[in-house]
């Protein structure tokens, strides 16, 4: 937290922020998607349906009741997409329950509820169709859904009723409905997702706006530090070294070695997450996000409020373990802690995404304020390594782990939860399936480090927006993120690593502009324009005056 910038709690908050960044470089998805096309289940005649989510709306004694979500099979009749043309059919239990033999009672177009196991999915569906069923609902023996496919030896599949798998907990609920009610009916339909959702627009604006705010704060701090350093040079040339040391307080500069090492550590931590992913491990990540969010929210609020309450921001009191703490910090700390605790306790509530985004944005802005790349060389190495990191862990890791490690971690496949919390998310507003559009912290922070560097350079070089690099870097980031959303929609919901598109846009813009303007060498090595040494100018002027006398 903001206890004297450099105290033990600030160091803890900085460490947590970097740890969250390690797991926050996630691919961008529309949360709630399923993979519609699965190459491990090849299509063949009679078994070539896409895997789609299916809504199973129930009615009990004529009253609308619970809605379940299942997944359609590779075989069988395709499910209609519009609710208004979906037929409402009676529901009944299979006897025998597994439907591995012909049901004992003839069915008059009922939808049949059967248990999974003891025979092939196609055998169950054929028996149900022969008995007169209009659809078959197979209850899984596990919590998750399962994609029903045809066996390799099945070459001539001709099933004319839809088959849907429902999760395990749907079985007892449906059985209770059928036992306690005079009539139960269902309606099956699979509404299509819209090509795009306004949530993606808002998420784009949040990502761009967060980098914009963080860059201006970082550049403002760098300019104030440069002014202070110039003052010290004018007052006494011997204090230059001390002035530089003071400017570095509370700022972490990334080196080329640490940029490479960072991605290696991120890969190791991603594997740990993949192997240890569970509900208790997610709870640990929630605690870490709370600590980092409290640090970030407090830092932002203190910086903002200190412009109106200058005296309180400059007045300090000693606190055990924390050292000197401003009165303004003491005033905002309880609010920040309460806000983070509220999110942690209510993180599954409908409004929790707002709290999570506020904590995440504050944390991202704080990280971009305290972590800096000194030049274009370090920024290129960092983003280049992150680019390869994204490609490997999203696409190539399937060859080693039989699934995409980053996708599994981001969705929390082994935890029973909705995924890790190190991301910004917005509910999809016009999507019949709900879910969220999400983006990882790293997809904002890593490009943001180079964009913030560009604005610091522009200000120190006295460049306007058009002649500088910041405007073009922001434009490149916005285009890269937009390209990610376009690819996401073109790939029919398959998760896309945002840095795969963002990094080429940003680095290409920086390198081409720097080369064209002749600034590339300075940007690459120094990272800031040459400035006259004030104490040398001062001594030179004094010497000239003495000669004139």
* Residues carrying an active site annotation: 390, 443
Up-side HSE of residue 140: CA atoms within 13 Å toward CB?
19
Q: Mapping DSSP to helix (H, G, I), strand (E, B) and coil, where does residue 540 land?
A: helix
Which of 310, 312, 311, 308 has its CA nearest to residue 329? 312
Hey, what are 91's tokens?
């529901």
Which of 335, 329, 360, 334 has its CA nearest to residue 347? 360
Cβ neighbours of residue 99 closer than 8 Å, sequence gap 6 or more: 112, 114, 115, 124, 127, 128, 136
CA distance 98 to 83: 29
Cβ neighbours of residue 217 closer than 8 Å, sequence gap 6 or more: 303, 365, 368, 369
Query: Quick check: 211 and 474 in contact, CB under 8 A?
Result: yes
Cβ neighbours of residue 248 closer than 8 Å, sequence gap 6 or more: none
23: left (phi over 0), alpha (psi -120 to 50) or beta: alpha
Query: Quick check: 42 and 388 in contact, CB under 8 A?
Result: no
Give the distance, in angstroms, between the CA of residue 424 and the centroid of all CA atoms in the same chain: 5
Query: Quick check: 274 and 401 in contact, CB under 8 A?
Result: yes
Query: Quick check: 380 and 373 in contact, CB under 8 A?
Result: no
Hey, what are 155's tokens?
């070459």
């Amino acid at each position: 937290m903001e206890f004297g910038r450099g105290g033990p709690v600030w160091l803890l908050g900085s460490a947590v922020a970097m740890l969250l960044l390690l797991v926050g470089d996630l691919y961008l998805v529309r949360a709630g998607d399923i993979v519609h096309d699965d190459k491990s289940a090849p299509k063949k005649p009679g078994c070539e349906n896409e895997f789609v989510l299916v809504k199973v709306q129930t009615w009990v004694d004529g009253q609308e009741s619970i809605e379940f979500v299942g997944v359609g099979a590779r075989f069988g009749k395709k499910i209609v997409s519009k609710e208004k043309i979906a037929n409402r059919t009676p529901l009944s239990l299979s006897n025998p329950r597994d439907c591995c033999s012909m049901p004992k009672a003839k069915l008059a177009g009922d939808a049949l509820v059967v248990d999974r196991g003891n025979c092939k999915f196609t055998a169950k569906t054929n028996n149900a169709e022969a008995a007169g069923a209009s659809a078959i609902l197979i209850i899984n023996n596990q919590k998750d859904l399962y994609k029903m496919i045809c066996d390799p030896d099945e070459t001539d599949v001709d099933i004319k009723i839809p088959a849907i798998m429902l999760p395990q907990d749907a079985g007892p609920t449906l059985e209770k409905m059928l036992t306690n009610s005079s009539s139960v009916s269902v309606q099956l339909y699979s509404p299509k997702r819209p090509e795009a959702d306004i949530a993606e627009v808002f998420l784009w604006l949040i990502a761009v706006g967060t980098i914009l705010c963080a860059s201006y704060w970082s550049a403002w701090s760098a300019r104030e530090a440069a002014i202070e350093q110039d003052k010290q040079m004018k007052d006494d040339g011997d204090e230059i070294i001390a002035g530089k040391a003071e400017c570095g307080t509370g700022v972490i500069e990334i080196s080329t070695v640490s940029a490479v090492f960072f991605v290696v550590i991120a890969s190791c931590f991603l594997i740990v997450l993949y192997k240890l992913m569970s509900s208790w491990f997610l709870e640990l990540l929630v605690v870490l996000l709370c600590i980092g969010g409290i640090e970030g929210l407090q830092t932002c609020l203190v910086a903002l409020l200190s412009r109106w309450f200058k005296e309180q921001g400059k007045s300090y009191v000693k606190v055990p373990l924390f050292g000197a703490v401003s009165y303004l910090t003491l005033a905002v700390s309880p609010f920040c802690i309460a806000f983070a605790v509220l999110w942690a306790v209510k993180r599954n509530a409908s409004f929790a995404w707002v709290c999570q985004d506020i904590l995440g944005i504050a944390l991202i802005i704080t990280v971009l304020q305290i972590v800096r790349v000194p030049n274009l060389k370090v920024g290129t190495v960092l983003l280049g390594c992150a680019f390869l990191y994204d490609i490997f862990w999203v696409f190539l890791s399937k060859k080693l782990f039989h699934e995409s490690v980053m996708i599994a971690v981001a969705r929390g496949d082994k935890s029973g939860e909705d995924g890790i919390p190190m991301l910004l998310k917005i509910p999809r507003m016009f999507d019949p399936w709900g879910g969220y559009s999400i983006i990882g912290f790293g997809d904002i922070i890593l490009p943001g480090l180079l964009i913030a560097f560009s604005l610091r350079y522009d200000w120190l070089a006295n460049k306007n927006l058009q002649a500088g690099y910041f405007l073009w870097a922001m434009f490149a980031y916005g285009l890269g993120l937009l390209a990610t959303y376009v690819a996401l929609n073109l790939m029919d919901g398959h998760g896309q690593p945002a840095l795969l598109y963002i990094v080429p846009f940003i680095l290409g813009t920086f390198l081409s502009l720097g080369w064209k303007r002749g600034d590339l060498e300075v940007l690459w090595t120094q990272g800031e324009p040459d400035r006259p040494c004030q104490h040398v100018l001062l001594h030179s002027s004094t010497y000239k005056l003495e000669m004139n006398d």
